[in-house]
Amino acid sequence: MTAQADTPRAPAETPTPSTSVAPRLPLTERLIRTPVLLPLLTFVLILALWEGGTRLFAVPSFVLPAPSRILGGFEVVSFERWMEHVWATLRVSLLGFLVSIAVSLPIAIGLAKSRFLSRSLYPLLVVIQSVPVVAVAPIIIVVLGTDDAPRIVITFMISFFPLVVSMTTGLMATPPELIELSRSLRAPVRREITQIRLPYATPYIFSGLKISITLSVIGAVVAEFVAADVGIGYFIQFSTSMFRLPQAWAGLVVLLVMSLLLFQAVSQTQKYFFPWSLPKESR
């Protein structure tokens, strides 16, 4: 028997199960990584402070109603009447928004393609945008009547300018070497716009759409302040004239929810149909 055989061997090491546990993230980091939880907690905290402050200092409801009183303002009006007001405002907002898109896109293409149009038309657009719509609204109502048409025009005037500026900026942001390449290949103008300029302008276009959709709600409410017998703007104006502040605040809450839903509709449209136009962390 050899010496090597007499030497006792060390027992083979058996793998032990790993006991390492992923480090637990701090509470603030977990809240930041949860996209909905932090804004929801902040909103609940603001409501709690609002409710507690109005009760503690006995603030009259005609000055600042508590959230609980605003919640009671929803119950004063029937659900069918609420839906009638919401649909009137939503209809005018969407129609004004769609008209803004239909008018902005060809104007933006013209401004991006033609230096003559850019020099002649752009200052005129700035002048039109500088006119306060609230002052012009009564004139538009007198000229066009009191149906949906003047309210759509007022909504269009408020939501049009940010959209055309964003579209023009995006169309002009196309790399010039791609434009030169398309021209060297004798590509028609239609293909240059649809296959080169518009894809590059998509992030800018959606930025303008997100601003414009919220402004369209404001435009519809401004128009309803001037002349309307239905709509959230009319409801708020009527409630304040009767010193029913909780109802007016309830109408304001409905407007906020409507604006947020429309904004999310535009955001989800971009995320679903044009995900490449978003930053990687937002897809």
Instruction: Yes or no: say if 64 and 54 are a contact pair by the CB < 8 Å rule.
Output: yes
Contacts of 131 by beta carbon, 8 Å cutoff, 6+ apart: none
Query: Cα–Cα–Cα angle for 222, 227, 232, nearest 5°?
Result: 55
User: What pLDDT sits at residue 256?
Assistant: 92
The highest-level CATH class for domain 67-274 is: mainly alpha
Phi, psi torsion values for 279, nearest 5 degrees = -60, 155
* Ranges of the chain whose pLDDT falls below 50: 1-8, 10-14
List, as one string, the DSSP characters of 144-190. H-SSHHHHHHHHHHHHHHHHHHHHHHHHHTS-HHHHHHHHHTT--HH
User: Which pTM value belongs to this model?
Assistant: 0.81
Confidence (pLDDT) at 191? 85
Burial (0-12, 13-18, 19+ Cβ within 10 Å), 65: buried
Task: Give 254's contacts (C-beta < 8 A, 6+ positions apart).
Answer: 82, 85, 86, 232
| Structure-token pair, residue 162 | 């940010």
For the beta carbon of residue 257, count every other beta carbon within 10 angstroms.
Answer: 11
Q: How far apart are CA 96 and CA 76, in angstroms?
A: 30
pLDDT tens per residue across span 48-80:
999 999 999 888 888 888 999 988 888 888 899
Q: What is the pLDDT of residue 136?
A: 86
What is the residue extent of each domain of the chain? 67-274
The amino acid sitting at 175 is P
Handedness of CA 59, 64, 68, 70 (dihedral sign): positive
Q: For 100, phi and psi rounded to 5 degrees?
A: -60, -45
- Cβ count within 10 A of residue 259: 17
220 close to 151: Cβ distance less than 8 angstroms: yes
**Which pLDDT score is estimated for 131?**
79
DSSP string, 50-92: HHHHHHHTT--TTTS--HHHHHHHHHHS-HHHHHHHHHHHHHH
Task: Compute the CA torsion angle 169, 172, 177, 183 (nearest 10 deg).
Answer: 150
